[in-house]
């Protein structure tokens, strides 16, 4: 037995243990927590931080978070949403509107926004699932519902139209910089806050995946009519998937609105936002727990660095997104996380042909 095989064997033993997910989770989030310091380590006179700033890390974790939320609906139940910008935008707008008009603390406003987004998700779900929209048609319908909101917001003076909202100072709603105000004077606390968000949504995603709900979701994704014939209330569970996913996506929008200074319809409701919200999950591996996180760490830094480095080429980040999307859909629809097992299968095939040749000789 080779060393590779014995390592794999002991990994499999570890994987069977009940504490394995816990150990993996701690390792992953421990690494992510240390990341802001890791990028500052000086290696042979080069710092990773020179190209990979804390801002890029924050963006990366934001998109890991939103992809994780998208994954609960689209990855698990197979209802491919192309319109999650609707929920993201609702999260940002409702939080800022409540803050501006009622001076409502963003932590509370964020939850209200989440509930509104879940409600909007249920409306979309009711209309599309009732009429059994599937596949491309469903994706297009969700896109239409997202675009609809953008047009509405642009034309509503009550929501400041195309100008959007400017984030108020903490003192405007009777708070000081800090966790309670959801505002900080440096980026590092923002990073740990969104990392906390990611931890929560990943935990919930894990719980869903390992429960009855997850079993039902996967059954629906696999074959909806078969699920119905064994008695899974498919409609109800698809509605649940939309609501949970919309709620958490909205919290991501709320965070966005509290991190950046302004929100406008053409940023949070942008057509392209729909792609940004789902791409990490698709690249990393839809329907897997780790996929959305891995995917975001591939997609976001590359496109951000490209955007800031090649400032003279407008839209380069989008070209990169497009290239990722096309490549992954064609060559690896199960995402990057499926690569190790694919590599192993390939390796086994190569080896078995080798040994066959030996036999023939």
Q: Is 50 in the site for another protein (CB under 8 A)?
A: no
- # residues near another protein by CB under 8 A: 16
The least distance separating another protein from the CB of residue 320, rounded to whole angstroms, comes to 32
Using the rule CB under 8 A, is 215 a contact of another protein?
yes
Can residue 218 be called a binding residue for another protein (CB under 8 A)? yes
* Closer residue to another protein (CB): 34 or 215: 215
Give yes or no for residue 172 binding another protein (CB under 8 A). Answer: no
Please write down the HEC assignment for all residues of the chain.
Answer: CCHHHHHHHHHHHHHHCCCHHHHHHHHHHHHHHHHHHHCCCEECCEEHHHCCCHHHHHHHHHHHHHHHHHHHHHHHHCCCCCCCHHHHHHHHHHHHHHHHHHCCCHHHHHHHHHHHHHHHHHHHHHHHHHCCCCHHHHHHHHHHHHHHHHHHHHCCHHHCCCCCEECCCHHHHCCCCECCCCECCCHHHHHHHHHHHHHHHHHHHHHHHCCHHHHHHHHHHHCHHHHHHHCCCHHHHHHHHHHHHHHHHHHHHHHHHHHCCEECHHHHCCHHHHHHHHHHHHHHCCCCCCHHHHHHHHHHHHHHHHHHHCCCCCCHHHHHHHHHHHHHHHHCCCCHHHHHHHHHHHHHHHHHHHHHHHHHC
CB of 334 to another protein, least distance (A): 11
Nearer to another protein, 82 or 217 (CB): 217
Minimum distance of another protein from residue 287's CB (angstroms): 10
**What part of residues 219-278 is at the interface with another protein (CB under 8 A)?**
219, 222-223, 225-234
CB of 226 to another protein, least distance (A): 4
The region of 53-61, 120-128, 142-150, 210-218 touching another protein under the rule CB under 8 A is 210-218
Smallest separation, CB 93 to another protein (Å)? 37
Which residue, 224 or 276, has its beta carbon nearer to another protein?
A: 224
CB of 12 to another protein, least distance (A): 13
Q: What is the contact surface with another protein in residues (CB under 8 A)?
A: 215-216, 218-219, 222-223, 225-234
């Amino acid at each position: 037995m080779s060393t590779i095989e014995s390592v794999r064997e002991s990994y499999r033993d570890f994987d069977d243990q009940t504490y394995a997910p816990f150990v993996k989770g701690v390792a992953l989030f421990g690494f992510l927590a240390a990341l802001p310091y890791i990028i500052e380590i000086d290696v042979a006179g080069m710092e990773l931080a020179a190209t990979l700033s804390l801002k890029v890390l924050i963006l990366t974790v934001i998109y890991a978070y939103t992809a994780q939320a998208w994954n609960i609906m689209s990855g698990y139940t197979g209802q491919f949403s192309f319109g999650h910008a609707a929920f993201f935008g609702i999260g940002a707008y409702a939080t800022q509107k409540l803050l501006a008009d009622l001076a409502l603390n963003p932590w509370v406003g964020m939850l209200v926004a989440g509930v509104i987004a879940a409600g909007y998700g249920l409306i979309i779900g009711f209309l599309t699932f009732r009429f059994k929209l599937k596949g491309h048609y469903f994706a297009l319908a969700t896109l239409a519902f997202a675009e609809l909101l953008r047009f509405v917001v642009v034309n509503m003076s009550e929501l400041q139209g195309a100008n959007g909202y400017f984030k108020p100072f903490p003192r405007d709603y009777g708070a000081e910089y800090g966790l309670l105000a959801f505002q900080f004077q440096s980026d590092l606390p923002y990073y740990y806050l969104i990392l906390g968000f990611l931890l929560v949504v990943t935990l919930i995603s894990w719980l869903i995946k390992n429960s009855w709900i997850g079993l039902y979701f996967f059954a629906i994704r696999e074959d909806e009519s078969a699920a119905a014939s064994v008695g899974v209330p498919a409609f109800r569970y698809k509605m649940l998937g939309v609501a949970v996913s919309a709620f958490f996506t909205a919290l991501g929008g709320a965070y966005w609105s509290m991190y950046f200074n302004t929100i406008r319809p053409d940023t949070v409701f942008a057509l392209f936002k729909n792609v940004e919200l789902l791409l990490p999950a698709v690249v990393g591996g839809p329907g897997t727990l780790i996929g959305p996180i891995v995917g975001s760490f591939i997609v976001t830094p590359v496109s951000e660095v490209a955007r800031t480095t090649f400032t003279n080429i407008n839209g380069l980040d989008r070209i990169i997104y497009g290239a990722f999307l096309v490549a992954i859909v064609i060559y690896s629809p199960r995402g990057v996380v499926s690569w190790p097992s694919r590599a192993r299968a390939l390796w086994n095939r190569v080896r078995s042909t080798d040994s066959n040749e030996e036999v023939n000789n």
